[in-house]
Structure 1
Amino acid sequence: MSSIEQSIIGVGAILVRPDGAVLLGYRDKLGESPSWCLPGGHVDAGESFEAAAVREIAEETGISGLQRPKLLAITQNLSSAASIVTGAVLANVEQDAEALVLEPAVFTEWRWFSPSALPSPLFPASQAVFAHWQGDESPAGWQTYPIVPEE
C-alpha cells in the first residue's frame, strides 16, 4: 500500500436529548476548514462502533451514561483518496447532559441544535450520518449502507 492509500474507520454519534436536540461541536482543527461535527473519532482495533462511540463521547465531551447506543448505518466516502468509513451510532442522553470542551485542540464549543435547524458547514462525515438519520439522500460522493434491525 502506498503512503497515499490509507483506511480510516471512524464513528459519528448522534446524541439525542428528550427534547429532540442533537449535539454538535465546532471543529476548528489545524489544517482543516472549521465545521460543525458530531462527537466521534477513530475506531480502535477490536472495538465495535458502539463501544468506540461511548469512548469517544466521554473523551471529547465528558458525557457518559448513554442510553441504548445502536449502529444505524455505515457511510463510505467514495470520492476520497483514502478509504473512509464511518459508523453512524444513535444514542439517547438525559435532558441535562452537559458537554464540556475536553479536546480544545479540536473543538472550541459544543451546542445542542434542533435537527430541523442544523448549522453549517457540517463536517462531511457528519453530514452523511445526518442525511441517513433524517431520511435524505447521501451527499455527493458518499454511499450509505443502512443496518437492518434484527427481528
Structure 2
Amino acid sequence: MTLSSVERRCPIVGVGALLFRADGAVLIGHRIKKGEPASWCLPGGHVDARESFEGAALREIAEETGIVGARRAAAFVLALALEADRTQMTVGVAARVDDAVAATREPEIFDRWIWARLDDLPGPLFPASAALLDAWRGRPAAPGWALYAMTDPISQPQE
C-alpha cells in the first residue's frame, strides 16, 4: 500500500550546534516555544535547500543568538528520532568561538542563553539536543533515538 501525498508527511532535516567557548563551556538556551514544554536547547533549526550542515548551524547560531565568527564547524553525528510521526533527523555540528555574548534574538522561542559546562547542564533538555549531547559525550542513544557517527570519507585510509 502506498500513501498519498496528503497522508505522507515531509521529513524534517535539522541541525543542532554545540558551540564551545575557549574555556570549554557550551552555549545552551532556555526554549519557551508556545505549545511545547519548556526545555534547554542547543542553537539549531532546519537545513535550507543548498545549505551544508555546517552552514546551517552557523546561520542558526547567528539568527538565534547574534553570534558570528564561529570557526572549525564540523558535523559529527546524525541523530534519528525513531518514534516521531515522520522521518526526523538532526545533525550535530560542533564549532568554536573565542568569547561571545549571546543575545536573545527570538524571544518567542528562547528567553535566555547561558554558557554551561558539559558536566553541569540545566534540564530538562530538548530531546534532539539531549541526543546530540549524548553522542558528543560518547554515551549510548536514549530510547527512541539512533545515533550515527559521521566521518569524513576523504580523509579515511583507502582499502
Same fold per TM (> 0.5)? yes
The equivalent of 1:52 in structure 2 is 56
The equivalent of 1:19 in structure 2 is 23
Alignment gaps of 5+ in structure 2: none
Structure 2 counterpart of 1:125, from 124, 128, 134? 128
**Match status 1:112 vs 2:115:** yes
Structure 2 counterpart of 1:63, from 50, 64, 67? 67
Calculate the TM-score normalised by the size of structure 2: 0.91
Structure 2 counterpart of 1:136, from 114, 139, 150? 139
DSSP-derived class of the 2:80 partner: strand
Calculate the TM-score normalised by the size of structure 1: 0.96
Supply the AA of the counterpart residue of 1:72.
Answer: F
Structure 1 counterpart of 2:89, from 78, 85, 89? 85
Among the aligned pairs, what percent are the same residue? 48
On the 8 A contact 1:4/1:81 being kept in 2, the answer is: no
DSSP-derived class of the 2:132 partner: helix
* Per-residue deviation, residues 59-115 of structure 1 (Å, max 9, x unmatched): 000101111000001110011112110010000111x31100000110000001110
DSSP-derived class of the 1:112 partner: strand
Q: CA RMSD in A?
A: 1.1
**Match status 1:101 vs 2:80:** no
TM-superposed CA distance for 1:4, in Å, is 6.3
Q: How many residues align?
A: 150
Alignment gaps of 5+ in structure 1: none
Structure 1 counterpart of 2:39, from 32, 35, 43? 35
* Per-residue deviation, residues 31-59 of structure 1 (Å, max 9, x unmatched): 11100000010100111100000111000
